[in-house]
Chains A and B, each alone.
Chain A
Amino acid sequence: MSTAEVEQPAFASARSITWTRRRKSVVRFVRTFATHRTGMVGVSILVFFIVVALAAPLIFPDYLLDPNANLSNDDMGPPSSEFYYWLGTDDLGRSVLAELAWGARPSLIIGILASLMAMVIGTLVGIASGHFRGLFGGAMERLTDWFLVLPFVPLVIVLQAVLGQTSLWITVVVLGVTSWPGTARLVRAQTLSVEARPYIERAKVLGNSDWKQMTRHVLPNVTPLVIANTTLTVAIVILSMTVLGFLGLLDPNEISWGGMLDSADESGAALRGAWWFLFPPGLCVIAVVLAFTLIGRTLEVVLNPRLGSE
């Protein structure tokens, strides 16, 4: 009975120390983040829209989105007291409320996936161009500068128009391959400043490979910056996606907020005074973009103490 107590390890293993430290820093991070009111407003808005996106199929059955199933409704009918029609109907007699809820899905999915793609490309190119001197690093830096100059929105529009609007994945790729240069430039600058520190020199002298220097020493130091930056990228991606939807360049079978605004514009909702068809999609875009912007700005402050006191 007493032997069991004796066998308790007196020292924790290296691994458990690491994990304890990580857990503590996560807790500390969450606590600091929670003290920023604007950041928490962003989180609440985002959580709300995630719940709406997940619950949309449960609350609003498919048939509400099918133009053929709603032929008996008025087109652009004003809001009524019936739950499905709280926000009236669109130009095809469909429930605007149902479309709003379903429209949250592509915005969040495409926004997040495309930003993750941009994050991976931007981080790889950024670290490589900061770490490697000489031809390769220079080429990566040039590439970033060149891509930064391409007019972003026109490029996205042309690319999407050329590739066609057949699927959600094309849009993810289009927005992903166009959104990375900003991240790359940021990561490059941070890589240069990290690599100027003595411990990188130590790692180099000890014979660590380039790969190990980059992944074990540089990457952890640029990660906070990258996370904050990626959150801000989601905001821009969702805005650009709304533009694509409005120009009729998204998959026409998928309900999206940009697409709703396109039909509102084409059916003359603004001239017919159909405010219930015009205001809600735009306000949803603003809410989600604002949420990511607020979270991103708060992350910047929390993860980068030197910015401080904002």
Chain B
Amino acid sequence: MAGLGRFTARRLLSGLGTLIFVLFVNFFLFQLLPGDPLARYKGAREISAADLAKLREELDAPVWEQFLNYLKDPLQLDQYSTIQGKPVWDVIGAAVPWTLFLLGTATLLATVIGIWIGIRAGWNRGSRFDRVSTGVTLFLYATPEFWLGLILILVFSTGIGPFPGIFPSGSAIGSGVDPWTLEGLISIAFHTVLPASALAAVYLADYSLIMRASMVDELGQDYLMTARAKGLMDRAIRRGHAVPNASLPTITLIFLNIGFVFGGAITVETVFSYPGLGLLTWNAIQFQDLPLLQAIFLLFSVTVIVFNIIADLLIAVVDPRIRV
């Protein structure tokens, strides 16, 4: 266990290094912007002439000094969103639960279905199921999530040919419905079906392809031969021996993929007008709300760092060989 403790400490330390790099990027990325930065600092607030002069003075300082100042307050708690006229973190806080719910649902679906397909396809390599599922997953892998979302709206929301429009296509809940009632929960569930399916379909492609590849890698291993020689049933060998060994890369990928998952959320939430962080990002781009964009990017990056650390620790717990 000492090994694990040391590994954790070192992993956290390197995570801290990454965090500083992210802050560096987040600061200088927005320095690239042409024009007077004061316009965006001001946002929708009334600012007195004295404060304005103080801000101007801060901006006239050398860049490295500004960076050090930024490091003292990386969250920039006093920043206001220019589109909503509220502190950026309040705006973000209101959007986070929706995104968590949508991405959580989509990831859960993608994981369960993707791993199931990967196991079956890899175990029976070359079978009909393998060929069909590999074809379909490669196709989904190449599909832009938001396009799938648009098609789902066309087919299941607008209704085309024999399909009636069943699912709603905008927002996350019917207007004027209280989310904490039964009616509200049903409404939320109905609004989630299409965006969650669009995201899940694309992500499951990744997971099932990796799961299939690691199953195929395990196929030739000696321990499977031993298990067979012991006379275990095929199903028992698959469940008890091959799958646990093959799952590691897929589980890691699920955590490491969070950056791509955010990317998908941006476009899919836009298509469905789903009131989460993705739609917020799109609005921030459309209306050049840079304080908001900067805060969202920081949140995305930090989340990715945290998930990376979790993934590494998870592997270290499961597989002691990693703890070097």
**Contact-size category for A:** 35 or more
Interface size class of B (residues with CB under 8 A): 35 or more
Q: Does B185 contact A (CB under 8 A)?
A: no
Q: How far is the CA of A246 from the CA of B147 in the complex (A)?
A: 9
Binary contact readout B232-271 vs A (1 if CB under 8 angstroms, 0 otherwise): 0000000000000000000000000011101110110011
A271: contacting residue among B29, B144, B153, CB under 8 A: B153
Smallest CB gap from B216: residue in A: A310
* Residue in contact with A261 in the complex, picked from B34, B147, B158, B285, CB distance below 8 Å: B147
B305 pairs with A293, CB closer than 8 A: no
> In the complex, which residues 289-324 of chain B have their Cβ closer than 8 Å to any Cβ of chain A?
293, 296-297, 300-301, 304-305, 308
Answer yes or no: B47 CB below 8 A from chain A CBs: no
Chain B interface, >50% SS class? helix
Which chain B positions have C-beta within 8 A of A142?
Answer: 17
Q: Per-residue CB proximity of A263-290 to B under 8 Å, as 1/0?
A: 0110001111101001101100111011
Closest chain-A Cβ to B313's Cβ sits at a distance in Å of 15
Q: How far is the CA of A149 from the CA of B263 in the complex (A)?
A: 14
Q: What distance in Å separates the Cβ of B303 from its nearest Cβ neighbour in chain A?
A: 8
Known: A151-B300, A278-B154. A235 touches B263 (CB 8 A): no
- Judging by beta carbons under 8 Å apart, are A271 and B151 in contact? no
Tell me whether A55 is interfacial, beta carbon within 8 Å. Answer: no
Q: What distance in Å separates the Cβ of B31 from its nearest Cβ neighbour in chain A?
A: 9
* Residues of chain B in range 269-296 having any CB-CB distance to chain A below 8 Å: 270-271, 281-282, 285-286, 293, 296
Of the candidates B22, B143, B148, the one having the most CB atoms from chain A within 10 angstroms of its own CB is: B143
Taking the closest CB of chain B, its distance from the CB of A201, in whole angstroms, is 25
A274: nearest chain-B partner, CB-CB: B154
CA distance A149 to B259 in the complex (A): 8
B124-146 interface bits toward A, Cβ cutoff 8 Å, 1 = contact, 0 = none: 00000000000000110111101
Q: Which partner residue on chain B sits nearest A146 by CB separation?
A: B21
A273 and B300 form a contact (CB under 8 A): no
> In whole angstroms, what is the CA distance A258 to B159 when docked?
24
Report yes or no: A242 in contact with B144, Cβ–Cβ below 8 A: yes
The answer to whether A145 has its CB under 8 Å from any CB of chain B is yes
Cβ–Cβ contact A154 & B262, under 8 A: yes
Q: Does residue A225 face the partner (Cβ distance < 8 Å to B)? A: no
Contact of A293 (CB < 8 Å), options: B142, B157, B159, B271: B142
Question: Within 8 Å CB of A59, what residues of B?
Answer: none
| B residues at A contact (CB < 8 Å) | 14, 17-18, 21-22, 25, 29-30, 32-34, 138-139, 141-144, 146-148, 150-151, 153-154, 157-160, 169, 216, 258-260, 262-264, 266-267, 270-271, 281-282, 285-286, 293, 296-297, 300-301, 304-305, 308
Of all A-B residue pairs in the complex, the 5 with the closest CB atoms, nearest first, are A153-B263, A151-B259, A282-B147, A289-B142, A270-B153
